[in-house]
A and B are shown apart, each in its own frame.
Chain A
Amino acid sequence: MRVFKIDITSWTASFRYPNLISGFQPTLEVPPVSTVLGLINAAAGHYVAHSTLKLGYYFEYQSKAVDLETIYQIGAHKGMPSNHAKSNIIRREFLFEAFLRLYVTSQEVADYFRSPVYPIVLGRMNDLASIAGGVRECSLVPRDHADQLRGQVVPFSKHQLPGQIQALPKYFTDSFPRNNLGVEPYSVIGHGQGVSARLEAFRDEEKEVDVYFHDLSF
């Protein structure tokens, strides 16, 4: 399959568990689909209303650590922010030396990354990332029985692959407040150990990884 490859790197990255709000903030080992679609929007400079999208990606990092972070908690008055804010310290887990490779079949989506409009971040605003090596076109070889699925998320219900199991969104609306779209359970498979499964994937020989492609429709 002919695809466009885009490599994104950053010093740090963090992808929150969507429903753990209080206390320690762990990071997922791979960004959810919605985060990747958010990156595409940032590169495009606008909300992209995809009708369908074929997307694969692979994420790896060098190590994981915990940082102390100051947060500001703002008080409420009749449902609106008040002038009362107090600081607190929380522990946030983060990934170091992050690498994300996107695989897209759409020329239009790939072109967004040739000259991104907004900064690309892998998590929060301090996880500033850069596009390394531009957009490259290449060919991936199909595999019926993937044995190197790693560094990606795969829908859980059909394959039940090992990993962190989480309900994750595919996308968000551009309304205010934003609504999550297409939430479903995913296996979040870290890049460290490859998983095998009878599903169609495409081999990226450069990374020795089998990439699962999400066929998204909205």
Chain B
Amino acid sequence: MKKTIENIAYKWLTKPTGDPFVDVGGVVMDYFARLHPGKDVLGLIESMTDIYVNNWSGKLNAFFLNSTITQPAFKGQKKIDETLKYFKELIQDKRAFQEGYCRITGRKTKLFYAGRDNHILSGSGTFINFHSAFESGLTLSKEVLIRIFFVPFGLLQVSDKIALIQSNDLEVSKYFVLKNCQENIQGIATGASEGVLKSSLKNPASALFGFIDDCVSDLKTVVDDRSKLKDIAFNIYHFTNFGASPEVQLYHLHSTAFRFYLTCLNPRYRDDWQGFVSAHYHNSKFKNIKFNRTSAVWEDKTKVAKYGEYKNWSNSIYNKLLLNQPILAEILNWSKKYPFNFKIVEIYQTHIRNMDKHTLNKIKELADFVIRQKEEDKIKRTITRLRGCKSTHEVRQVLLKWVGQHYQNGEQTPLITLEEYTQYLFPEGINWREIRDLLLIGIYQKLHEHQMQIALESSEGDKEEETETINQ
């Protein structure tokens, strides 16, 4: 970018600020400046305006309300002229300003008012009490307002709103924006870009995990540095600044959930994980469709949906990971039917549910004990009793019965020591359902490992458990 204008603090056109929208605008400006090295700020604004108006027909309503581009009174060239006039006046300090500290960059400089026409999800100018001290809007530096103008080019529409993915790893945040910019530029070159980039994915969770998949395979610099990987978290802003219904929904994927997800993509666990996740897609349009695990497709009498299609559907596992809700009930139901590496359950429980490793080791030992009974009928009765448990007391009764059996078998060491019982299986605050579910998952996995087929009746308790977990 050429730097010939004195009234601009160029550093602040691209420097990270912590504000998700402004930072997206900064990355887009940087990208655009590289595309047009001979242009100064106004030249870049002119090029962007040309795209917004001539390629996208001014369809920026999800970002700006009644701006020089979106207000219906301006048509065609008038949109461009008014936009350039506004930014020229802004840069030359010809618009009303006051001296103070920019509320996004923290710099002491000239401040200009921002409303929903030039900033995303600001307050309305119509109502005077949207801002402190009856001010006309947020007070921001011109550099911030310029950056905001570039935001639409770096984001994409997911369902009916715009999605912004922000990470504490600046390279990851940048990657998301640059990917969108590149797709936009390609679309413009081929004449295919007619508005804000649209994702085929139907909800923010799928968009995030889709992005992570791309990111993991493409962004080698980040992924290769294993030490950086463990602390990456994601924030998604799913928003619209449209008309009378501005809205924003925020989602946060914890670094622990990201770490867990990355581990699941490891070749050792990938097949088990992918099979499990694939079986949890759903689409309200196809009510009777079922997942065929062998061919990894969703099908019914008339429809076959392959991965390329169903990956765009909603996925309850991704949704729950994003909302930090437990997925143990789903793992339990899945384990009943299919082998599922218990190591995934261990990683999930220790990383995300903060469970002590000793608890998991004990659960594996107990599952071993159940399977050692050999007689299918006994194993079946044990599973049925465990599935029917409706309280801590009932789970404890089952375990105490096992302890008694173990003792009567003449074993040298106790099945459960007093310490294990009090500190690891039933410490204060433990959720008995979690222990019960883990025991069942452990037992099912052992059955799969030993290739033992036991005809289990469907239990009322299963349905109840599922409902209770969802409501947690």
Task: Give residues in A with beta carbon < 8 Å to B.
Answer: 18-24, 26, 72-76, 79-82, 156-157, 160-169, 176-187, 190, 192-193, 195-196
Contact = CB atoms under 8 A, between A and B. Distances in A.
Contacts of A76: 125-128, 134
A165 B232 CA distance: 12
B136 to A, nearest CB: 7
Contacts of A20: 121, 248
B288 to A, nearest CB: 34
Given A23-B121, A73-B126, A161-B231, 13 more contacts: A19-B19, A19-B103, A19-B104, A21-B130, A22-B246, A74-B127, A74-B128, A79-B136, A167-B18, A182-B106, A184-B18, A184-B106, A192-B254
Contact of B103 (A26, A160, A183): A183
B241 interface: yes
Contact of B168 (A79, A165, A176, A181): A165
A79 B255 CA distance: 46
Interface in B115-173: 116, 119, 121-136, 138, 166, 168-170
B406 interface: no
Contacts of A166: 18-19
A179 B123 contact: no
Contacts of A182: 106
Nearest to A22: B246
B71 interface: no
A80 B126 contact: no
A23 B19 contact: no
Interface string B87-123: 0000000000000111111100000000010010111
28 contacts: A20-B248, A21-B122, A21-B130, A22-B122, A26-B250, A74-B128, A75-B128, A79-B134, A80-B128, A80-B134, A161-B168, A162-B232, A162-B233, A162-B255, A165-B168, A167-B18, A168-B18, A169-B106, A177-B133, A178-B132, A178-B133, A180-B106, A182-B106, A183-B101, A183-B104, A185-B17, A186-B18, A193-B254
Contact of B129 (A26, A74, A156, A186): A74
B355 to A, nearest CB: 13
Contacts of A169: 103, 106
Given A24-B247, A160-B168, A167 B128 contact: no
B246 A23 contact: yes
Contacts of B254: 162, 192-193
B255 A183 contact: no
Contacts of A177: 132-133, 135
Contacts of B124: 22, 73
A195 B101 contact: no
B250 A156 contact: no
Nearest to B18: A185
Nearest to A196: B231
B427 to A, nearest CB: 15
A83 to B, nearest CB: 12
Contacts of A19: 19, 103-104, 119, 121-122, 138
A42 B132 CA distance: 18
A22 B123 contact: yes
B246 to A, nearest CB: 4
B122 A195 contact: no
B339 interface: no
Contact of A167 (B106, B119, B133, B235): B106
A157 B133 CA distance: 31
A75 B127 contact: yes
B129 A81 contact: yes
B20 interface: yes
B16 interface: yes
Contact of A163 (B103, B123, B168, B249): B168
A24 to B, nearest CB: 5
